[in-house]
Amino acid sequence: MNVLFAALRRRTLITAAALLATPAIGLAQTPIKFQLDWRFEGPAALFLAAQAKGYYKAAGLDVSIDAGNGSGGTVTRVASGSYDMGFADLAALMEFHANNPDAPNKPVAVMMVYNNTPAAVLALKKSGITKPADLSGRKLGAPGFDAGRKAFPIFAKANGITGVQWTSMDPPLRETMLVRGDVEAITGFSFTSLLNLEARGVKAEDIVVLPYPAHGVKLYGNVIIASPKMIKDRPQAVQAFLAAFTRGVKEVIADPKTAIAYVKARDGIINEALELRRLQLAIDATVLTSDARSEGFGNVMGPRLALMASQVADAFGTKERINPDAVWNGSLLPPMVDRNIFPVARK
């Protein structure tokens, strides 16, 4: 399959810049239905910027972007054909592949966005939890589908944690139950749960955040996914989308405050200051990381991808082992020079 993708790329001799500059050739208003992993919050600006600035349109694409309700749902909807592309946690994509080996339209990751998982354990300082080892024997809470909870066995193994008891709840109750003392710690995306706790009256200095990447768990985070049918039938459209998206990301990184207006346009009731902070936290924790700098924005490293596939299969208890080559296709990425987002990063 990778040989086929490489052949497709060799035949596609149009650079990312050319795709953005010449929309009329074969790509005029190609429709793409795209689903996010979550609601229209700060990080959604990474995708909305290219739409608001007309970069998708300039590349000959008619892109519609919808909110999501979790990575698992996004993967399933792309697999069903309801959406052409989406944004989802790579672990959720791996799980789908391994648990649905006979599915005819298993989505494929085509670009890495969150080079490091934003999953973290959060606790209140008054609990006495200050390091991973302190979680042994404690009562943790998270929704059953939460990425951090599902990957917790990997975090626990890396840090010698044992005897954890889990409580499940709906997402809106996660931080509330921690504040009330119903649970002693929670898992969640760091930039989501931290701000949710602050919104419930907890001071930042009273919150302990234990990010997975900082404690021995180098899982990849969210990726852009596409259906195999689209990759096969419309590879230039996928390539054009990734080029336009990357151009938008550079502008969001350079000027995140302006980018929040694009989110506000999709959800008029958001707190702009709060979502600006969420966006900045997400960028710093997952996009502008040392791993992303060394590997290159948008790309993955084979050994790290293979290790994650093995870890996810073990932690998630999948029906089959995960083939890393089946979940990733980087042949349609923009050239590396176009993916260098770091010079525009805030100092």
Q: Tell me: the pLDDT tens digits for 143-181?
A: 999 999 999 999 999 999 999 999 999 999 999 999 999
Q: What is the pLDDT of residue 343?
A: 87
- What is the separation of C-alpha 185 from the centre of its chain, rounded to a whole number of angstroms? 23
Q: In what order do the strands lie in the sheet with 185-189?
A: 165-167, 139-141, 185-189, 119-124, 207-211
N residues, the chain: 347
Mean pLDDT along residues 109-128: 98
Q: Which of 11-15, 58-62, 335-339 has the lowest mean pLDDT?
A: 11-15
User: Could you give the percent of the chain with pLDDT greater than 90?
Assistant: 90
DSSP bridge partners of 85 = 34, 226
CATH number of 119-215: 3.40.190.10
Q: Say if residue 16's pLDDT is above 70.
A: no
| pLDDT tens-digit series, residues 127-145 | 999 999 999 999 999 999 9
Q: What is the DSSP letter of 265?
A: H
Q: Which tens digits make up the pLDDT trace of 272-282?
A: 999 999 999 99
Mean pLDDT in residue range 27-34:
84
Which pair of tokens denotes residue 152? 């917790």
| pLDDT > 70? residue 269 | yes
Check residue 28 and give its pLDDT: 58
Question: Domain-by-domain residue ranges, the chain?
Answer: 2-115+220-344, 119-215
Q: Which fold has domain 2-115+220-344?
A: D-Maltodextrin-Binding Protein; domain 2 (3.40.190)
pLDDT of residue 12: 45
Q: What is the pLDDT of residues 280-327, one digit of tens each?
A: 999 999 999 999 999 999 999 999 999 999 999 999 999 999 999 999
pLDDT at 230 over 70: yes
Question: Pick the residue with more confidence: 122 or 344?
Answer: 122
Local confidence band at 11 (pLDDT 50, 70, 90 cut-offs): very low
What is the distance between the alpha carbons of residues 211 and 216, in angstroms, rounded to a whole number? 9
What are the DSSP calls for 291-314, one per residue? HHHHH-TB---HHHHHHHHHHHHH
Q: Which residue has the tokens 């195999």?
A: 228
Write the DSSP symbol of residue 103: -
Question: Per-residue confidence at 14, pLDDT binned at 50, 70, 90?
Answer: very low
Residue 231 vs residues 148, 238, 240: alpha-carbon distances, Å? 30, 7, 12
Mean pLDDT of 33-46: 97
- CATH topology identical between 2-115+220-344 and 119-215: yes
The answer for residues whose C-beta is within 8 angstroms of residue 298's C-beta and 6 or more apart is 111, 112, 113, 242, 246, 330, 333, 334, 339
pLDDT band at 124 (very low <50, low <70, confident <90, very high): very high
